[in-house]
Amino acid sequence: MALPAKTLVQAAANSGLRAVSVRHSSQAPKVALLGAAGGIGQPLGLLLKQDPLVAHLALYDVVNTPGVAADLSHIDSNAKVTAHTGPKELYAAVENADVIVIPAGVPRKPGMTRDDLFNTNAGIVRDLAAVIAKASPKALIAIITNPVNSTVPIASEVLKKAGVYDPKRVFGVTTLDVVRSQAFVSELKGHDATKTVVPVVGGHAGITIIPLLSQVTPSTKFSEEEIAKLTPRIQDAGTEVVNAKAGAGSATLSMALAGARFANALVRGIKGEKNVQCAYVASDAVKGVEYFSTPVELGPNGVEKILGVGKVSAFEQKLIDASVPELNKNIAKGVAFVKGN
Ligand SMILES: NC(=O)C1=CN([C@@H]2O[C@H](COP(=O)(O)OP(=O)(O)OC[C@H]3O[C@@H](n4cnc5c(N)ncnc54)[C@H](O)[C@@H]3O)[C@@H](O)[C@H]2O)C=CC1
Ligand SMILES: O=C([O-])CC(=O)C(=O)O
C-alpha cells in the first residue's frame, strides 16, 4: 500500500526516525542476511523478501539455509533469493552486497547478561567480518549479534586490520530500543504508536540504553515518576522477553521488524533518500567514548551526518555520563579480542 509521495515526504520531515517509503531508483540492491535460519533470521528474511527495494536477498547460515530459502523463494515478491550454507559459501553470499545484516550467534537465556554471550559471539562476528573485508568491503554492515556494544568494535577492528575500515559503514542495530520505546510511550500516553517517535541513545545493554523522553514526538510531558518507571522498563525490555520465553531465546519477532526497518533505511540511503535513524556507530557525539548511538543521517555512503544527542534533560545527561565508562569497558573488550588474536 503506497502512500502518496507528498505524504511520505511530510512523514519523513515530521518523524525522521520512522519514515518508510517505496521510492525506486535504478539501483538494484543486494542484501545479505547472515544467520538467516535463526530465530531472528527467518522472520527478518520474510520481511526483507517483501521489501520492494530489495532486488536480491542472499541467505547465509551454517545450517538449514536451503529450506528457508526454498520457502521464501515461493513468495510472489520481486527479490531473488539465494541460499549459502557454511563457511565455504560465505564469500558468495556477501560478494557485491550493498547491505549485510548480521543476526548470527547465540541468544540469551534467563539469568544471563548480553556480555555473557561474548565468548561465543565475538568469534562468530570476527570471522564473518574477515570474509566481508575481502568480498564486500564497501557494504553497509548492520550488526544485530550481541553484545552489540562489543561486536561493533570487533567488526571494526577486523576491517581496520584488513585496511578497508570505513566508520560510516558499520552499524550496531539499536532500532529495537526505539521500537520498544515508541510502543511503551504510545501505550502509556494513548498516542498513535505509528506516529510516535522516541530517540534512544548510548548503546544496547542495560544502563547504556538511554531513551530520550524529553525529545518525544509528538511533544509529550512525563511526570518524574513516569520517567523513573519507563526508563528502566525500556532498558530491561530485552530481559523481559528473555524471561517470558523461559529458556527458548530472546526477542525474535520484534527484532525482525526492527532489523527490517533499519535495513530498509540503509537501502533508502544508498538510493539517495536521506533519512534519520538511531544507530550505534563510531562517533564523536559524546566526549570520551568512541562508539555511541545517536540519531544519524543515512545516505549513499552510510552515515552522512552524526546528529548527536541534542538537548537533553538533567536526568538524561546523568544517564549519558554513567553509560560512558560502561561502554568503554565493552568497547575495550571487543578491541582486545581482535588485537590479541
Ligand atoms: N541488537 C538487538 O537488538 C538484538 C540482538 N539479538 C541477538 O541476535 C543474535 C541472534 O539471536 P536469535 O536469532 O534469536 O538466535 P538463534 O540461535 O535463533 O539464531 C542464530 C542463528 O545464527 C546461526 N549461526 C551461528 N553461528 C553462525 C556463523 N558462524 N555464521 C552464520 N550463522 C551462524 C545459527 O545457526 C542460527 O541459525 C543473538 O546474539 C541475540 O542476542 C537479539 C535480539 C535483539
Ligand atoms: O535481550 C537480549 O538478549 C536480546 C536483545 O538484545 C534485546 O531483546 O534487546
24 grid coordinates: 525506486
Closest CA to 304 of 132, 171, 135: 171
Mean pLDDT score of the chain: 93
pLDDT confidence bin for 341, thresholds 50/70/90: low
Q: For residue range 5-34, what is the model confidence (pLDDT) as tens digits?
A: 333 333 333 344 444 433 334 468 999 999
Bridge partners for 56 per DSSP: 30, 80
Which residues have C-beta atoms less than 6 Å from ligand 1? 34-35, 37-41, 61-63, 103-108, 117, 121, 124, 144-146, 148, 173, 176, 204, 249-252, 255
Interatomic CA distance for residues 276 and 303, integer angstroms: 9
Under CATH, what is the fold of the domain 30-173?
Answer: Rossmann fold (3.40.50)
What is the pLDDT averaged over residues 115-131?
Answer: 98
CA-based torsion, 149, 151, 157, 159: positive or negative: negative
Task: Tell me the domain boundaries of the chain.
Answer: 30-173, 174-340
Given the CA of residue 127, which atom of ligand 1 is nearest to it? 29
For residue 93, what pLDDT is reported? 98
Residue 204 known to be catalytic: yes
CB 148 within 8 A of CB 125: no
* Residue 265 phi, psi (nearest 5): -65, -40
Q: Could you count the other beta carbons within 10 Å of the beta carbon of residue 267?
A: 23
- Do β-strands 170-172 and 140-143 pair in parallel, antiparallel, or remain unpaired? parallel
Cite the annotated binding site for NAD(+) by residue number: 35-41, 61, 121, 144-146, 255
Q: Could you count the other beta carbons within 10 Å of the beta carbon of residue 300?
A: 13
* 3-class secondary structure, 224: helix
242 grid coordinates: 528473555
Interatomic CA distance for residues 95 and 79, integer angstroms: 17
Beta-sheet strands, E only, within 244-299: 275-282, 291-299
The conformation of residue 116, written as its DSSP 8-state character, comes to: G
In CATH, 174-340 is 3.30.565.10: no
Going from the Cα of 104 to the center of ligand 1, the distance in angstroms, rounded, reads 4
For residue 28, what pLDDT is reported? 87
What is the pLDDT averaged over residues 145-155?
Answer: 99
Q: Residues, the chain, total?
A: 341
Going from the Cα of 24 to the center of ligand 2, the distance in angstroms, rounded, reads 33
For residue 12, what pLDDT is reported? 37
Q: For residue range 26-85, what is the model confidence (pLDDT) as tens digits?
A: 468 999 999 999 999 999 999 999 999 999 999 999 999 999 999 999 999 999 999 999
Rounded to the nearest 10 degrees, the angle between the axes of helix 237-245 and helix 224-235 is: 50
Q: For residue range 271-301, what is the model confidence (pLDDT) as tens digits?
A: 999 999 999 999 999 999 999 999 999 999 9
Bridge partners for 197 per DSSP: 217
Beta-sheet strands, E only, within the chain: 30-34, 56-61, 80-85, 99-102, 140-143, 170-172, 200-202, 209-211, 275-282, 291-299, 302-306
Which residue, judged by its Cα, is nearest atom 6 of ligand 2? Answer: 238
